[in-house]
């Protein structure tokens, strides 16, 4: 089976990798590029733990072949903080204890950041619908919603 | 499995036509990847159509809209022209899955997956949408209703794939709507779906097309329901006849999502409600 050479951009860095045609983007991120932030929860696009952005759009990396990444721009949870400086969403998740086991957190951070980039003042209903594809077994969601709401408020104040 | 990302429609057809094994065309992948990963479908060749020019484009054509086969739900929802003309088609696609799924899911993928419960298919059929099919014999235009032939089955032949959907000119006094029943608010598959597209002159319905999903092996066009409201102002008697016609047309199955009795009843309720929304939208367009 012939391997495929892919050139892409991940978190702003030009990246090349070689993959099997059957490998998903999630497989390549975790197993070939050592970017283990994105998690495999369900592997069928239901849980959102593998969320990344592809050309600015939130997608499930488990439902994308790695070969499709050619020429695209990908962002993962690893690209959210600036060096040691946590993103306001990451800070607010810690302050509000919006995570327990943490498996869903990278996907929720990626999806929430995409929401706030597009809509800096979402209602609670908008946040809940936007994150409907990010399942969390621990928190009951309320703390997550509070953290995102609070992060949005701080982003609006500082801009 | 081989992955092939052609630059032209001709390359895609030529490669798919000569593949002796199983071929799957890939746009958003939200169904294809699930099937591939579960081992349910093991293609020998995956043809990724996204690098073919036009597949990601929405263009005005003869007063209507041509939507490339790889246009995602998120992209369609951001297009003010399509949203203004065909809100029912847009809301049907937008109901499918999560934000993440919307980033990739397509109208054509929903059609070719050929689920009886596909949300956007009844809406496209009600809209009298056409698809452009490319294949070894060239290109042909086919009504959306002519594609699914049964659960998971389509009329597409070897080497054929859909390159775009065409939504016709909406015209004055036109409105459409799609509603579905699910037992929760998000992330579920329709127990019943109903699309209504109609045209009004003043308040009177002059033309209507009603299509049900998830109550038969393929989406069901209910001519009796349309006849029940044409010539009326969509008063209570007309709505009641429409609901009865929708219920009478159902040929559903019992499964974990709903019983025959429940689906039959809900089809009538959704038909009435979707018709009322389409009627309001049609009148709003008339008064603009």
How far is B176 from B208, CA to CA, in rounded Å? 9
Residues of B in contact with A114 (CB under 8 A): 99
Task: Give pLDDT tens digits for B238-286.
Answer: 999 999 999 999 999 999 999 999 999 999 999 999 999 999 999 999 8
Which residues touch B95 (CB under 8 Å, ≥6 apart)? B119, B178, B180
Task: Give pLDDT tens digits for B112-150.
Answer: 999 999 999 999 999 999 999 999 999 999 999 999 999
How far is B286 from B93, CA to CA, in rounded Å? 25
* A28 plus A58 within the same structural domain: yes
How far is B2 from B8, CA to CA, in rounded Å? 18
φ and ψ at B107, to 5 degrees? -60, -45
Q: Which of A54, A79, A104 is the last residue in one of the domains?
A: A79
| Beta-strand relationship, A73-75 and A4-10 | parallel
Number of domains into which chain A is organized: 2
* A47 plus A96 within the same structural domain: no
Could you say which DSSP state residue A149 is in? H
Average pLDDT, integer, range B65-82: 98
With residues binned 3-state (H G I as helix, E B as strand, rest as coil), the percentages for chain A, rounded to 5, are 40, 20, 40
Task: Give pLDDT tens digits for B174-222.
Answer: 999 999 999 988 889 999 999 999 999 999 999 999 999 999 999 999 9
Distance from CA of A58 to the nearest CA of B (A): 5
Average pLDDT, integer, range B165-172: 96
SS3 B211: strand
| Beta-strand relationship, A57-60 and A73-75 | unpaired
* A53 plus A118 within the same structural domain: no
Average pLDDT, integer, range B88-101: 97
Residues of each domain in chain B carrying CATH 3.30.390.50: 174-287
* A109 plus A130 within the same structural domain: yes
Evaluate whether B58 touches B75 at the Cβ level (below 8 Å): yes
Confidence of residue A144 (pLDDT cuts 50, 70, 90): very high
What is the pTM for the complete model shown?
Answer: 0.97
Which residues touch B94 (CB under 8 Å, ≥6 apart)? B73, B76, B77, B102
Q: Which of A37, A55, A79 is the last residue in one of the domains?
A: A79
> Can you tell me the ipTM of this complex?
0.96
Share of chain B above pLDDT 90, in %: 95
Secondary structure tally for chain A: helices H, strands E: 5, 5
Q: How many CB atoms lie within 10 A of CB A121?
A: 11
From B3, B30, B50, residue closest to A45, measured CB to CB: B30
For residue A72, the domain's CATH number is 3.10.20.30
Evaluate whether A76 touches A34 at the Cβ level (below 8 Å): no
Confidence of residue B288 (pLDDT cuts 50, 70, 90): low
Distance from CA of B268 to the nearest CA of A (A): 28
Residues of B in contact with A58 (CB under 8 A): 99-100, 103
- Model pLDDT, residue A2: 87
Report the mean per-residue pLDDT for chain B.
Answer: 97
User: Which residue range(s) make up the domain with A52?
Assistant: 4-79
* A11 plus A74 within the same structural domain: yes
- Model pLDDT, residue B40: 87
* pLDDT above 80: residue B110: yes
From A1, A65, A111, residue closest to B99, measured CB to CB: A111
- The continuous run of DSSP H or E covering B17 comes out as helix B9-18
The more confidently predicted of residues B5 and B41 is B5
Q: What angle do CA B89, B152, A22 make, to 5 degrees?
A: 100
Confidence of residue A1 (pLDDT cuts 50, 70, 90): low
* A33 plus A13 within the same structural domain: yes
CATH class assigned to B174-287: alpha beta
* A59 plus A94 within the same structural domain: no
Q: What is the torsional sign of CA B41, B46, B51, B55?
A: negative
The token duo for B24 is 């799957």
């Amino acid at each position: 089976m012939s391997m495929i050479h892919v050139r892409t951009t991940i978190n702003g860095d030009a990246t090349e990798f070689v993959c099997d045609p059957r490998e998903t983007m999630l497989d390549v991120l975790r197993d070939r590029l050592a970017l283990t932030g994105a998690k495999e929860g369900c592997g069928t696009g239901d849980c959102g733990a593998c969320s990344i952005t592809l050309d600015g759009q939130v997608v499930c990396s488990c439902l994308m072949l790695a070969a499709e990444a050619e020429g695209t721009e990908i962002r993962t949870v690893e690209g959210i903080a600036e060096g040691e400086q946590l993103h306001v969403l990451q800070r607010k998740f810690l302050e509000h204890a919006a995570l327990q086991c943490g498996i869903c957190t990278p996907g929720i951070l990626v999806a929430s950041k995409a929401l706030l980039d597009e809509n800096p003042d979402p209602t609670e209903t908008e946040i809940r619908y936007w994150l409907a594809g990010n399942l969390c077994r621990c928190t009951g969601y309320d703390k997550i919603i509070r953290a995102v709401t609070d992060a949005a408020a701080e982003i609006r104040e500082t801009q | 499995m081989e992955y092939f990302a052609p630059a032209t429609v001709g390359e895609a057809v030529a490669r798919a036509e000569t593949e002796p094994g199983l071929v799957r065309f890939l746009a958003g992948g939200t169904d294809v990847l699930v099937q591939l990963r579960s081992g349910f479908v093991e293609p020998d060749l995956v043809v990724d159509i996204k690098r073919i020019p036009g597949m990601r484009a929405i263009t005005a054509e003869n007063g209507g809209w041509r939507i490339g086969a790889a246009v995602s739900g998120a992209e369609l929802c951001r297009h003010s022209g399509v949203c203004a003309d065909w809100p029912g088609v847009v809301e049907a696609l937008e109901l499918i899955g999560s934000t993440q799924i919307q980033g990739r899911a397509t109208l054509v993928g929903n059609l070719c997956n050929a689920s009886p419960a596909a949300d956007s298919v009844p809406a496209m059929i009600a809209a009298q949408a056409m698809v452009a099919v490319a294949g070894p014999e060239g290109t042909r235009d086919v009504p959306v209703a002519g594609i699914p032939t049964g659960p998971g089955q389509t009329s597409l032949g070897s080497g054929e794939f859909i390159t775009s959907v065409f939504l016709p000119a909406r015209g004055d006094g036109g409105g459409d709507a799609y509603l579905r029943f699910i037992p929760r608010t998000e992330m579920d598959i329709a127990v019943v779906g109903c699309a209504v597209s109609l045209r009004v002159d003043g308040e009177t319905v002059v033309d209507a097309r009603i299509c049900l999903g998830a109550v038969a092996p393929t989406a069901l066009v209910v001519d009796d329901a349309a006849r029940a409201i044409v010539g009326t102002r969509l008063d209570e008697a007309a709505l009641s006849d429409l609901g009865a016609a929708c219920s009478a047309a159902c040929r559903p199955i019992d499964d974990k999502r709903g019983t025959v009795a429940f689906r039959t009843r809900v089809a009538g309720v959704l038909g009435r409600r979707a018709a009322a929304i389409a009627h309001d939208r049609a009148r709003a367009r008339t008064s603009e």
